[in-house]
Chains A and B, each alone.
Chain A
Amino acid sequence: MLNLFNTSIAFLLDPLSFFFVFTILLISLASAIYSVGYLQGEYSLRKRLYGWVLFAAFIVSMLFVVTVNNALIFLISWEAMSLLSYFLVIFDQKNEKSISAGIIYLVMTHIGTAFIIASFLIMYKYSGSFDFAAIKAACQNIPVFTKNLVFIFLLIGFGTKAGIVPLHIWLPYAHPQAPSHISSLMSGVMIKTAIYGIIRFIIFILGIESLWWGNLILIIAIISCLVGVIYALMEHDLKKLLAYHSVENIGIILLGIGASMVFIKLKLTVLAVLALSVGLYHLINHAIFKGLLFLCAGSVYKATGTGDMEKFGGLIKKMPQTALAFLFGAMAISALPPLNGFVSEWLTLQVFFIGAFSVSSGLKIFFAICASLLALTGGLAASCFVKAFGITFLAMPRSAKAKEAVEAGLSMKIGMFFLAFFTVVFGLGAAVVFKILAKVSQSVLAGELAPINFSLNNFTINIQEGNFVYLSVPQIALILAIILLITATLIYLFTGKVKKYGTWNCGYYKLTPRNEYTATAFSKPFRIAFGFFLKPYRKTEKLRESFYHVKTFKYETHTTSIFQEYIYKPILAFTFGSARFIRKIQPGSIHLYIAYIFATIVALIVLIKIF
């Protein structure tokens, strides 16, 4: 431990780092532009300056995390990133929820950091240096058991930050409480630094030791996907809903990375590179559309003063541009062509299809199950965003605030459309992007694999020769546009004059917002379908004037958060229980405290003979 502080800062500028730097800067730029308008009028000038300083420091710390070449500096930047984001979460200090959210975040992230530190120290024991190259070289000599331990520690450590199930509980608290441009950074970029950590430390430095590593990550990933999206469906706070979708999308990203780890171990080189590139592709896609969605949610929040979806409605008429940007994000996250989310989810599915054909027996079934669950996730995500968009923007305003909402300011619109533009770019330009990402993954796996090439041309991704699996997004876009055009023409030609009615009014003469479809109602089928997992309970309360006439009717429904109920609550109860037990030795008597010292000394004198 002597040379601990004798380390100079050196940077590691390989393609992987460049990729993450690009992602961070892309989202930060949009977020920074957006924040100008967003913070205006919300906070005093001093508070805004403080916010910008934190914002800048936060970005710098993230850049350090993905570029440094030394495990110790990495840890320092990692910790700086966590602390700065904590201060950004509690930025809105007047809100008590922010403080408790901040505490949950702080505790969870430090549990994660503790595991990372432990794994680094184990690796340091073998390498004697914190330099990445030295650690990588030394990792060859680590015994299998220790290697497994390091892997588990790294997975828990980075998994906490990434928000994999069941370590995700801080996400739905912390992300919504931060100011929206920060939420977009945290959800879009910060949790991705954990993915960087997993790729850098597990795949690049530690090296894949056993097949079960990849399988474990796949299992966790697919569970995260499902749990994230199911909870998102149940959530009626717009930003919390988005936060749960981050859990889901981290799952999808990890599906790519986990599959890559399996392929590396099975020596399927082409597939390994493919899977990793797909993971990275979804990573940057998620950064873009999740950043965009959080920015839009922020505009809605600023206009209405609440995040509760049941209070929105009809915002498309008041804030048409925000609605359009949100629609782009919603389509992208629901994997609708020709936007970017479609490309990466489609590719992830292809990885599992091709993978299922390339691996043997048991794994075949496992891959098939992963693929089907991923498809289920995609469907649920789409329905979730039908809810999010429909309830928020369509129909009539449900509250006075929603009625008085005004369109977001210029800088906010620039921020949103900047990212909306990129959802299109990363969709249509898929072939080019993928070519670059393949290079990045090849550089990561260079030690493991011989160099390979994908057959790519400018419009089509041909992911495996001979199997004729290819994707051309511009073609799809063209076909979609043509279908749309034909349909519109047909409607115009054959229906003639357009008649206007109120939507779904069933002949009723006057509809009020109370007749509207609510988010709770929309998600009810899912609440029933996933009842075994969500354990919903409901309470109805009727006040009757007579048997036939109900005066008031109250309906309440909640879902049980089983992770909190069955994992975190017992742990907390145990901790507090043991603390209460230990507190018995703290009666406050000075004599007793001195007596402890006295007894200890005497015991030591008596026992020293033994040692």
Chain B
Amino acid sequence: MHTYVFLSGILIMTYFMVIAKRLPPLISSFRLQSLFLFLFTVSLAISGGEPSLYVVAGLILILKVILIPTLLLRIIKKIKVNENLGFFMNPQLSLFTALLLTYLSYLFTFRVMNLIDRMQAASFALALCVTLLGLFIMVFRIKALSQIVGLLVMENGLFLTAVTMCRGLPFIVEFSTFLDIFISVIILGVFVYRINTLFTHIDVNKLDNLKG
């Protein structure tokens, strides 16, 4: 039963991120989402008894719950920009769209995938929904940091897919993915910092001068 609680936690945190108006709440919601993901993975590891999943869960805890959000929050403090996210679509309409996307992934899971195991079906629908919403955040939020968070949310969704469909990827793949994520966050953080010093803003929609 507790796995459903964790899954709902992930979903609710994703909705929080969709309606978040400022950067710090967005990042805190991401931290909480990752925490639920960590708990979910641990519960799977206990029920499945796979030792490698414990290590992966540990990595989630260290990277996605502690290190990355802290790093992002520090960047926000450092570059001193307006903390508002900047919307292409207001939070109410975003939430409505998010609900529609959730329904779409639900439909997809049950009509197309024909998953029999209810628990697996639910978590797959959820994973798909989280991936789509990560993409949604990347598209409809203006500040460059929200693109990074959107990418991280998508990664969480993909991890969830892997873990529910086939009990996680091989450990080495998982490990390298985490490393990639961490490094990409660092690089993107540096980029955001540089963009800010160069243009005095981090509004992605203003960066549209094509080169060449």
Interface residues of A (CB under 8 A from B): 586-591, 594-595, 597-598, 601-602, 605-606, 608-609
Contact = CB atoms under 8 A, between A and B. Distances in A.
B209 interface: yes
Nearest to B108: A605
A597 B147 CA distance: 14
Interface string B51-89: 000000000000000000000000000000000000010
Contact of B208 (A587, A594, A606): A587
B42 to A, nearest CB: 30
Contacts of A590: 147, 204-205, 207-208
Contacts of A598: 132, 135-136, 138-139
A601 B205 CA distance: 22
B209 A591 contact: no
Contact of A588 (B88, B101, B139, B209): B209
Contact of B104 (A589, A591, A595, A606): A606
B60 to A, nearest CB: 25
A588 B210 contact: yes
B138 A594 contact: yes
B112 interface: yes
Interface residues of B, number: 22
A589 B108 contact: no
Interface string B184-200: 00000000000000000
B2 interface: no
A588 B132 contact: no
Given A587-B210, A589-B205, 4 more contacts: A590-B207, A591-B140, A594-B135, A595-B139
A606 B207 CA distance: 32
A606 B103 CA distance: 11
B161 to A, nearest CB: 13
A591 B111 contact: no
A608 B147 contact: no
A551 to B, nearest CB: 50
A591 B108 contact: no
A601 B135 contact: yes
B126 to A, nearest CB: 15
A602 B101 CA distance: 8
Contacts of A589: 204-205, 208
A601 B132 CA distance: 8
29 contacts: A586-B210, A587-B208, A588-B207, A588-B208, A589-B204, A590-B147, A590-B204, A590-B207, A590-B208, A591-B88, A591-B139, A591-B140, A591-B204, A595-B139, A598-B132, A598-B135, A598-B136, A598-B138, A601-B135, A602-B101, A602-B104, A602-B132, A605-B104, A605-B105, A605-B108, A605-B128, A608-B108, A608-B112, A609-B112
Contacts of A588: 207-210
Contacts of A602: 101, 104, 132
A605 B101 CA distance: 10
Contacts of B111: 609
Contacts of B132: 598, 601-602
Contacts of B205: 589-591
A605 B106 CA distance: 11
Interface of B: 88, 101, 104-105, 108, 111-112, 128, 132, 135-136, 138-140, 142, 147, 204-205, 207-210
A511 B132 CA distance: 88
Contacts of A594: 135, 138-139, 147
The dominant DSSP class at the A interface is helix
A430 to B, nearest CB: 60
A30 B209 CA distance: 56
Nearest to A587: B208
A126 B132 CA distance: 45
Nearest to A597: B135
Contacts of B136: 598
Nearest to A598: B135
A598 B151 CA distance: 12
B135 to A, nearest CB: 5
A605 B136 CA distance: 15
Nearest to B136: A598
Contacts of B101: 602
A417 B103 CA distance: 85
B195 to A, nearest CB: 11
Nearest to A599: B139
A161 B133 CA distance: 54
Contacts of A591: 88, 138-140, 142, 204-205
Shortest beta-carbon contacts, A-B, top 4:
A588-B208, A588-B210, A595-B139, A598-B135
Nearest to B142: A591
Nearest to A608: B112
A608 B142 CA distance: 31
A603 to B, nearest CB: 11
A51 B210 CA distance: 40
Query: Which of A586, A591, A595, A597 gathers most chain B CB within 10 Å?
Result: A591
Nearest to B204: A590
B197 to A, nearest CB: 19
A376 B139 CA distance: 69
Nearest to A604: B108
Contacts of B208: 587-590
A590 B205 CA distance: 7
A591 B142 CA distance: 8
B64 to A, nearest CB: 21
Contacts of A609: 111-112
B169 to A, nearest CB: 21
A12 to B, nearest CB: 47
Nearest to B138: A594
Nearest to A590: B204
A587 to B, nearest CB: 6
Nearest to B209: A588
B210 to A, nearest CB: 4
A555 B112 CA distance: 77
A493 B20 CA distance: 115
Contacts of B138: 591, 594, 598
Contacts of A595: 139
A237 B205 CA distance: 55
A586 B135 CA distance: 19
Nearest to B131: A601
B212 to A, nearest CB: 11
B71 to A, nearest CB: 22
B82 to A, nearest CB: 18
A602 B207 CA distance: 26
A595 B139 CA distance: 5
A197 B43 CA distance: 69
B209 to A, nearest CB: 6
B56 to A, nearest CB: 26
Contacts of B142: 591
A589 B209 CA distance: 8
Query: Which of A589, A597, A606 gathers most chain B CB within 10 Å?
Result: A589
